[in-house]
Amino acid sequence: MGNKYDTILIRYGELSTKGKNRKDFIKRLELNLKNALRNYPNLTYQRTFDRIYIKLTDENPDELKEIISKVFGISSFSFTEKVKSDLDVIKEACLNYAKSMNEPKTFKVITRRHDKSFPLNSDGINRAVASDILKNTNHKVDVHHPDFSIQIEVREEDTYITSEKIPGAGGYPTGINGKVLLLLSGGIDSPVAAYELMKRGLEVEAIHYASPPYTSENAKQKVLDLASLISVYQGSMRVNVVNFTDLQLEIYKAVGDSYAITIMRRMMFRIAERYAKAHNCLAIATGESIGQVASQTLESMSVINEVINIPVIRPLVCMDKLEIINLAKKINTYELSILPFEDCCTIFDPKNPVTKPKSDKCYELEERFDYESLIEQCMQNIDNIVVYSKEKKESFL
Amino acid sequence: MPNQRIYFDHSSTTNIHPDVLETYIELLKTHYANSESLYDEGSEIARMMEKARASIAGLLGIHNDEVLFTGSSSESNSLAIKGVAFTNLNKKHIITTQVEHSSILNACEQLQRVFGYEITYLPVNQFGVVSLEDLKAALREDTMLVSIMHVNNEVGTVNPIKQIAEYVKTKSHAYFHVDMTQSIGKIPVDLTNIDLASISAHKIEGLKGSAILIKKKHVPMEPLINGGEQEYGLRGGTSNAVVNMVFAKTLRLALENETTHYQYVQSLHDYFMDKLNDIPGIEFNTNEFSIPHIINFSYEPIPSEVMQNALNQRGFLVSARSTCDSKSINPSHVLKAMGFSDKRASSCIRLSISHENTLAEIDAFIDSLKEIIQLYGE
């Protein structure tokens, strides 16, 4: 984009929400935008009933575009240039913009004249600007289906020239619909689940189970890096790392091979529920998808789910692996997800995990050891780490 | 990360010697000209680099033009193998060992795969040592090159390089290359009857990205990196002049202190072994043929990766196997070649000690190791 844009105009389109909800929506969107753009401290924000305006100083519009297009709750946005209300200046600015588009394309000029003392009326301005562009480029006019349109808003002092509408990410502003606690592993699925949750306006906090030394610092760092990649959609993300080693070792000692994963998942759910309830998360979420592994059969899900009393959201539950992979590629988490590090599910990888676990059997096995105190120990051993979408540049770079 | 960080990984790399660092920084600020340039600044740098080359040659008892500056021992090894192989496509047989560094093994594998060479991989005995008899049996009329490491990087065992060199030189037409990366500065090296040798700076308190290949005058060679006349036309690219200059000081300091350091490391090693011997279940993969700088042990109930993670948590920096293979999930090929089981080769830990370590560090390590074994060593 070659022009001297000074304002970004953010549209949230037709909202179904009204009244206070709408106000909350807009406030939250502004907050999320500020979070996403926090590395640009000189931007200033102005919120109106149907738009948010962001004033630029000398920021790079391409960088901003990249970031804003990932913020949920925006239907579209445009860059605006402010020029003097003088026909020659307006014509020149519009021509520059038209020249920045690959020729030949079709276009349309739409003028709104608030300053009725301006010598030309709206139609006159349209014609003057369009004929200048027709003369100096290979673009053609198409008033019905233009490839791009130029909007001119003439006010007394200044005129605003607005570029093409850039589509936003849609959805709801992340956080507007409350907070969920997502079980984040290092795999392909859970980051995609995070994306889907955020898209529906949910703020995502993550819980990760680490089993050092069976899992390495690198494996934990990979999870934090994944969290950082998906936190572009909500600015930052809190990742709660639970030290799971002692509990996990006890499980394997007490319940044996086939039920180990089932019991382990039940423990993970119990810990997640306790953390969620203590930290205003209204639900827990997972990246589970029916039938993908032994613990994701309907029978397994059922006996794992029965130990808690909080909604469990599974955004990927009916997606195919390939669909999930494609989404992971779209949100740039795939390459990182497939790096081979041990995680707490693979490290003790049982040979014959049960696919149809029985509830009675689970309770019976859990009688064998004092998991309650081990869970309490886990709850005391949670490391809270906040990751941001883009770490500050290292000093040596 | 715990505050105390104790380094037992000197065979991976070493901290830079303060004298080397100081000289490097001083030179780097001013000596930026291209050593090939004809104006005074360029000639001065070329002159200094040649001085360094001469000093290195002097320390090793060879001619100046037998020292080629390269970027790493891996590069030196690749150049030695492929650079010599490409000079005579009628002799397509190469002998090396099963326990070489990946740079040698992969260069040979590439020659076999792409150019149809035949490679003989000599076995090692239970101590990790190559036998002269096996080499004698493997040598053929069309053997172009023999490449055998001086000291093994995982178990520190010393090969009978002197006897092998003498045999290859007198009884065959093959050239003989020795990877001296893990021996230089630790034990004496003798280049008699050796045609090519690789030496790296960063294993002896020098800079990374700095190494040499020793290539005796009579050895033919094709370059792998084509460019100008740098390094006698055998390695193109603008000379990393200042880095090459400080290689000389790095090597001099290492050789000057070799004996004193060896004695000190030997005493640390003996102390370490005593302490480790008291822990039930520890099995040593190093032996009487190993240099004292490396102690390799297995504690079978705890796989290498888990042990490394646990040690890292407690502030100890160690390797399991060659650092160049640390991302590989296979058991150590060196330990497998020595006849150890998969389990033993998947639970090895390599401690590599230097004159910078202390008895107190060893005590701290032993305490932590006992704790880890108690926690995770079912």
pLDDT of res. B296? 97
| Same domain assignment for residues B185 and B312 | no
Instruction: Choose one of B214, B239, B256: the last residue of a domain.
Output: B256
* B contact residues 278-307, partner A, Cβ 8 Å cutoff: 305-307
HSE, CB side, 13 Å, CA atoms: give it for residue A88: 0
| Rounded Cα distance, B80 and A96, in Å | 60
User: What would the two tokens of residue B4 be?
Assistant: 């105390």
Q: Which of the residue ranges A86-100, A303-317, B188-202 would you say has the lowest mean pLDDT?
A: A86-100
Give, as one character, the DSSP assignment of residue B180: -
| Same domain assignment for residues B281 and B338 | yes
pLDDT in tens, A281-307: 999 999 999 988 877 899 999 999 999
pLDDT of res. A5? 83
| Same domain assignment for residues B356 and B216 | no
| Same domain assignment for residues B24 and B112 | yes
| Rounded Cα distance, A256 and A353, in Å | 10
Nearest to A217 among B307, B312, B376 (CB): B312
Interface check B374 vs A, CB under 8 A: no
Q: What is the DSSP string of A66-120?
A: HHHTTSTTEEEEEEEEEEES-HHHHHHHHHHHHHHSPSS-EEEEEEEE--TTSSS
Quote the pTM value.
0.81
| Same domain assignment for residues B269 and B348 | yes
Number of Cβ pairs < 8 A linking chain A and chain B: 26
Residues of chain A in contact with residue B312, where contact means CB-CB under 8 angstroms, are: 213, 216-217
Residue B186 lies in a domain: yes
Provide the H-helix boundaries in chain A.
Answer: 19-36, 61-68, 87-100, 122-136, 189-199, 217-230, 245-255, 260-278, 298-305, 321-330, 334-337, 359-366, 371-380
Task: Give, in degrees to the nearest 5, the angle at Cα A213 between A211 and A218.
Answer: 85
| Same domain assignment for residues B222 and B178 | yes
Residues of chain B in contact with residue A213, where contact means CB-CB under 8 angstroms, are: 306-313, 372, 376
Would residue B108 show up in a list of annotated catalytic residues for this protein? no
Helix (H, G, I), strand (E, B) or coil at A137: coil
ipTM of the complex: 0.74
| Amino acid residing at B286 | T
pLDDT of res. B256? 97
CATH of the domain at B370: 3.90.1150.10
The answer for residues whose C-beta is within 8 angstroms of residue A70's C-beta and 6 or more apart is A36, A169, A232, A233
Residue B97 lies in a domain: yes
Residue A342 has pLDDT above 70, yes or no: no
Nearest to B306 among A213, A217, A340 (CB): A213
CATH H-level, domain A179-388: superfamily: HUPs (3.40.50.620)
Interface check B310 vs A, CB under 8 A: yes
Residue B335 lies in a domain: yes
Domain ranges of chain A: 7-169, 179-388
Cis peptide before A311 (omega within 30 of 0): no
HSE, CB side, 13 Å, CA atoms: give it for residue A195: 25
| Same domain assignment for residues B285 and B206 | no
Residue in the block written with tokens 């560090």: B361
CA distance A215 to chain B (A): 7
Helix (H, G, I), strand (E, B) or coil at A292: coil
pLDDT of res. A2? 46
CB B354 within 8 A of CB B291: no
| Same domain assignment for residues B69 and B157 | yes
DSSP lists the bridge partners of residue A238 as A386
Residue B103 lies in a domain: yes
CB contact under 8 A, B313 and A213: yes
CB contact under 8 A, B305 and A212: no
| Same domain assignment for residues B187 and B220 | yes
Supply the range of the domain harboring residue B64.
18-256
From the list B21, B33, B324, B364, the catalytic residue is B324
The answer for residues whose C-beta is within 8 angstroms of residue A44's C-beta and 6 or more apart is A54, A55
| Rounded Cα distance, A367 and A370, in Å | 7
Instruction: Name the band, by pLDDT with cuts 50, 70 and 90, for residue A156.
Output: confident
Q: Mutate which of B1, B304, B307, B309 to test chain A, going by most A C-beta atoms within 10 A?
A: B309
HSE, CB side, 13 Å, CA atoms: give it for residue A255: 29
CA distance A232 to chain B (A): 27
Instruction: Name the band, by pLDDT with cuts 50, 70 and 90, for residue A150.
Output: very high
CA distance A180 to chain B (A): 30
Residues of chain B with pLDDT below 50 are: none
Q: Mutate which of A220, A342, A381 to test chain B, going by most B C-beta atoms within 10 A?
A: A342
Instruction: Choose one of B195, B222, B256: the last residue of a domain.
Output: B256
Residue B1 lies in a domain: no
CA distance A341 to chain B (A): 10
| Amino acid residing at A394 | E
| Rounded Cα distance, A125 and A111, in Å | 7
Interface check B256 vs A, CB under 8 A: no
| Rounded Cα distance, A115 and A124, in Å | 14
Cα dihedral angle (A221, A227, A229, A233), rounded to 10 degrees? -170
* CB neighbours of residue A86 within 10 Å: 12
| Same domain assignment for residues B249 and B266 | no
Instruction: Name the band, by pLDDT with cuts 50, 70 and 90, for residue A394.
Output: low
pLDDT in tens, B145-179: 999 999 999 999 999 999 999 999 999 999 999 99
Residue in the block written with tokens 């007490």: A254
Percentage of chain A beyond pLDDT 90 is 59
| Rounded Cα distance, A140 and A130, in Å | 9
**Residue closest to A143 by CA, chosen among A111, A178, A176, A170:** A111
The answer for residues whose C-beta is within 8 angstroms of residue B181's C-beta and 6 or more apart is B73, B101, B149, B153, B198, B199, B200, B203
Write the burial class of residue B284 (CB in 10 Å: 0-12 exposed, 13-18 middle, 19+ buried): middle
For B314, name the nearest residue in chain A, comparing CA atoms only: A213
CATH of the domain at B84: 3.40.640.10
pLDDT of res. B179? 98
Residues of chain B in contact with residue A342, where contact means CB-CB under 8 angstroms, are: 305
CB contact under 8 A, B306 and A340: no
Residue A60 or B92, more confident: B92
| Same domain assignment for residues B244 and B321 | no
CA–CA distances in Å: residue A285 to residues A237, A385, A389: 15, 19, 21
| Pairing of the two strands A74-84 and A158-162 | antiparallel
pLDDT of res. A137? 93
Instruction: Choose one of B216, B239, B256: the last residue of a domain.
Output: B256
Residues of chain B in contact with residue A217, where contact means CB-CB under 8 angstroms, are: 309, 312-313
Q: How many domains does chain B have?
A: 2
| Same domain assignment for residues B108 and B242 | yes
Strand A236-243's sheet: what is its strand order?
Answer: A312-313, A283-285, A179-183, A203-210, A236-243, A382-388
CATH fold of A7-169 reads VC0802-like (3.30.2130)
pLDDT of res. B207? 98
Write the burial class of residue B107 (CB in 10 Å: 0-12 exposed, 13-18 middle, 19+ buried): buried
CB B175 within 8 A of CB B119: no
Instruction: Name the band, by pLDDT with cuts 50, 70 and 90, for residue A254.
Output: very high
